Structure 1
Amino acid sequence: MYINLWYVASFSSELKDEPVKVRMLNRDFVLFRDGDGKAHCLSNVCPHRGVSLAQGKCFDDGTLQCPQHGWRFGGDGRCTSIPSQGDDFAMPPGARVDSYPTEERHGLIWTFLGDSPDTAPPIPDMPEIETPGWRTLEYGEVWNANYHWAKFANIDLTHVPIVHGQEFIGSFTPKENISRPDDYSISSHIRTPFEQPKGDWSEIREEQKHIASTLTFHVSGFTFKGHLEIGGEGSGIFATFYEMSTPIDSQTTAMRYLFTRNFMAEPEHDEGYMARNMKNVNEDRALAETQLPKNGPAPPGDRDLLIDPDDTMLKGYWEILGRLRDRGCEIDLAALEELDRGHRYCAIPSPARLTNPTAWTHDTVPLIQSVTNHPGKRKS
C-alpha cells in the first residue's frame, strides 16, 4: 500500500449530514461536511482517548465533535474547543488530528492520503462524465480480495474471451499498441473486429466493423478506464467505464465504478446497460476473491512467469508502483502490524506535518526504503 496518492473515499451521494467512517490503507478515517457542504477527511482517532470521531456529530460552524468528551475539530484537524476547559485555556499542541485534502469530482470524493500533494500524480480526467449527451451510472461494492488481485482481474485483454466469453474475430488476442501518457499511467490501444452485440444493442454496429478501444491504468485511485467505440470505428458511439480500487486492508478492497455511455441515453435503458457491465464485474470478482496469497503478490521476481503480450500492461503497472516505492511511499505493512499490536496508533501523515512535524499525539505509519527520514515520524 502506498501513501502520497489520491484515493476515492466515497461517492458524493453517500456523505450527507452525518459523519461517515471509512477505512483505507489499513487506517481509519472520518468524512464529514462543514456548514458550506464541503467534504473533509480526518484521521478518525481522537488524540485524547482514541475514540472514533465518526460516532460524533457535526455542527453548523464546520466542526466535528468527539462523542466522548465533546472535543471539537475543524476541517483542518485542529481542536477548536474542549468543553471542560475555560475560554482562556491554552490548547495543547497535540490536540489535533491529521487532515487530508479532498476534492469532489464526477460524483466521487477523492482524498489525498499523504503529506506531499504538490508532487503527487493528479486525479485522472474523466471528460465523458461532464459532457452533454452522456449518461453515467455509479456502483460500488467491497471485494474480499487484495487490491492488486482486484486490479489484475481486468488489466489485460487475454482474459476477455476466457472469463467473459466475448470473442475477438480473427485472432485470440488482437495486437496491442502500448503507450505511456506519463510516468504514472499506461494504456493499451487495440483495433479489432469484435463479435456482434446482441439484444437491444444489435443495431448500433454494422457486422465485422472494427472497434477501437483504449484501456488505461492510472495510479491515482488505482483507476482503470475502458473506452470502447462500441458503434464501430469512426461512429462516435462509445461505452466507457471507470473502475477505482481503494485498499481497505491487505485482503479487502473497495471497488467503485462509473459506467457511462453516449447512446441509448434514456433512463429506460439503464437496467440493460448496468446488467451488461455487472456481468463482467461479477465474473472478475469471482476470480479475484480466489487468488492466493490472500495478502496479494509481491513485485515480480526471477521465478515469476510474465509472458508478452498477456502481461505487458501488468509489467507497466509494477513499473509505476516501483517509482512510488523509490520515492519512499510504500507502507511497511509488516512493521505496521507489529506496531498495531503495541500501544501506539500510527496515522497516515498529512501535509500539516511538513510544517509542524513534532506537535502530534500519533506517530506516522512506517515506510519502506524512504529516501529521507519522514518529517512526520516521531523519534522514540
Structure 2
Amino acid sequence: MLDGFADEGIANLWTPVAMSKEVGKAPLGLTLASERIVLFRDNEGRVSALHDRCPHRGVKLSLGKVSKDGCLECPFHGWRFASGGSCTHIPLNPMPEEKRRRFSATAFPVQERGGLIWLYTHPGTDTPEELSMPSVMEQPGIHVWHYAETWNAHWTRAMENMLDSPHLPFVHRRTIGGSLWRRMKPDSKMEMEVHPTPTGFRTSWSLDGGSSSAALEWLRPNGMALHIPIPNRIMRLHMWCVPVDATHTRMMLVSTRDFLKLQPLAAVLDRYNKRILREDQAVVESSDPVEAPPASEERSVATDRATLAFRRWYLERKKHGGREPLGTELAPLAS
C-alpha cells in the first residue's frame, strides 16, 4: 500500500502538493507519485490530507463533500472522516466510537506555509521531520507569486533541468541566460562548484575565470531556488518538481521579490517568469529514457556535477526503499 512514494524516491519527506488557493470549500483530489490524495478544509479553514480512497468500498473521497461538522463525507454511503482520518459517522449502522476506530481513513501530516500545501509522504506519522522551506516566502514586504502546470515528463528529468546551469545560455538565451550567451567564446570554459547544505546543496559557476553572483540551490528532494543577483534587491525563483506519475510532473513555481509589487508591472514580471519556465518544457519532455538513468548509461562532463550529485542521491534512495542513502557525498567529476 502506498508504494508509489518509495518507487519515486520521495518516501518520508515533505513536498508541496498544491497551492493554497486551489483548496477551497470543495475537496481537491490529486495524484502524488501515482498515489491518490485528497485535500480538504474543515469548518475553521484548516487543511487536512487523506488517502483518496474510502476504506469501505475504495471510492474517491474527493468526489464527496465537507459536511457542516468539518468532516469529509464519502459520496457513496455517506461515511464521514475527520482531519486525522477517524471515522465519525456510518449512516444506518449505529455503533460506539471504539468500534468505529477500525473504519478510519489513512491520514497524512500536512502543513500550509508560504502559500503552498505541504504533505509528508508517510501516512500516520505523528512527528515527521521538520518542514524546511525558503523563509523568503513568508518574509514581510515580499511579493510572492504562485503558478503551477503539468509537464509530460518524469520528475527527475525536470529536477535535473532546474539544477543545470550550463543550459542557461542555450535554452534561455533570450531571457535569464542572455548575459552568459553574450560572454561565451568558442573556447570558453565553465567551472562548477557544488557545496553540501543542510537542505541539499548549493551550486555556483564561473565562465573563463569570471565568477557569477547567481547561484542555484537544491532543496531536497524536489525543490530548487535560483538566486538572481540584483544590487540591493531580493529576487528568487523557486521551483518544485512534484511527481504525479511515471510520465507526468507538476511544476510548481514560486517567484519572490521585494520590488515591482504593484499592478500592472507585477503582472508583467510574473508573465516573464512563466515564459522562462515554458522555455524548458519541450526539451525536458523530449528526454529519453523518460526517467533519469544511472550515470553510466549517459555521457557526462565536468559541468554536469550538480545534476549528477542529485542523480546519485535519487538512485541510492530508490535502491534503499526510501531511506536516506549513505555514501553519496559530492565527489569530484573528472574533466
Query: Into which bin does the TM-score normalised by the smaller protein fall?
Result: 0.7 to 0.9
Q: Does 1:32 align with 2:25?
A: no
**Which residue of the partner structure matches residue 53 of structure 1?**
61
* Count of aligned pairs between the two proteins: 306
The answer to whether the Cα contact below 8 Å between 1:5 and 1:114 also exists between their aligned partners in 2 is yes
Name the CA distance, whole Å, in 2 between partners of 1:236 and 1:312.
30
**Which residue of the partner structure matches residue 307 of structure 1?**
301
Task: Give 1:106's match in structure 2, choosing from 77, 92, 114.
Answer: 114
The answer to whether the Cα contact below 8 Å between 2:194 and 2:201 also exists between their aligned partners in 1 is yes
Name the CA distance, whole Å, in 2 between partners of 1:6 and 1:49.
29
The answer to whether the Cα contact below 8 Å between 1:45 and 1:52 also exists between their aligned partners in 2 is yes
| Correspondence 1:36-185 to 2 at 5 A | 36-88=44-96, 91=99, 94-115=102-123, 118=127, 120=129, 122-165=130-173, 166-168=178-180, 170-171=183-184, 172=188, 174-182=190-198, 184-185=199-200
Name the CA distance, whole Å, in 1 between partners of 2:97 and 2:321.
39
Superposed CA offset, 1:237-291 (max 9, x none): 2321110111110000111111122223322212321232122211101111111
The answer to whether the Cα contact below 8 Å between 1:78 and 1:97 also exists between their aligned partners in 2 is yes
How far did residue 210 of structure 1 move? 7.7
How far did residue 191 of structure 1 move? 6.2
Q: Does 1:219 align with 2:220?
A: yes
**Which residue of the partner structure matches residue 340 of structure 1?**
none
Q: Percent identity?
A: 25
Task: Give 1:188's match in structure 2, choosing from 191, 194, 203.
Answer: 203
The answer to whether the Cα contact below 8 Å between 1:75 and 1:99 also exists between their aligned partners in 2 is yes
Name the CA distance, whole Å, in 1 between partners of 2:132 and 2:235.
18
Name the CA distance, whole Å, in 1 between partners of 2:294 and 2:286.
19
Task: Give 1:267's match in structure 2, choosing from 263, 267, 283.
Answer: 263
Task: Give 2:241's match in structure 1, choosing from 242, 245, 252.
Answer: 245
The answer to whether the Cα contact below 8 Å between 2:88 and 2:100 also exists between their aligned partners in 1 is no
Where has structure 1 moved over 6 Å in runs of 4 or more? none
**Which residue of the partner structure matches residue 286 of structure 1?**
282
TM-score, length-scaled by structure 1: 0.74
The answer to whether the Cα contact below 8 Å between 1:28 and 1:43 also exists between their aligned partners in 2 is yes
The residue identity in structure 1 corresponding to 2:196 is: R
Which consecutive unaligned segments of at least 5 residues does structure 2 have? 1-7, 326-335
How far did residue 60 of structure 1 move? 3.0
**Which residue of the partner structure matches residue 15 of structure 1?**
23
How far did residue 316 of structure 1 move? 1.4
Name the CA distance, whole Å, in 2 between partners of 1:56 and 1:72.
10
Which consecutive unaligned segments of at least 5 residues does structure 1 have? 194-208, 331-368, 370-380
Name the CA distance, whole Å, in 2 between partners of 1:283 and 1:170.
21
Change in Cα spacing, 1:137 to 1:17, as seen in structure 2 (3 Å) is same
Name the CA distance, whole Å, in 2 between partners of 1:304 and 1:117.
41
The answer to whether the Cα contact below 8 Å between 2:292 and 2:311 also exists between their aligned partners in 1 is no
Give the RMSD, CA atoms, in angstroms. 2.5
The residue identity in structure 2 corresponding to 1:290 is: S
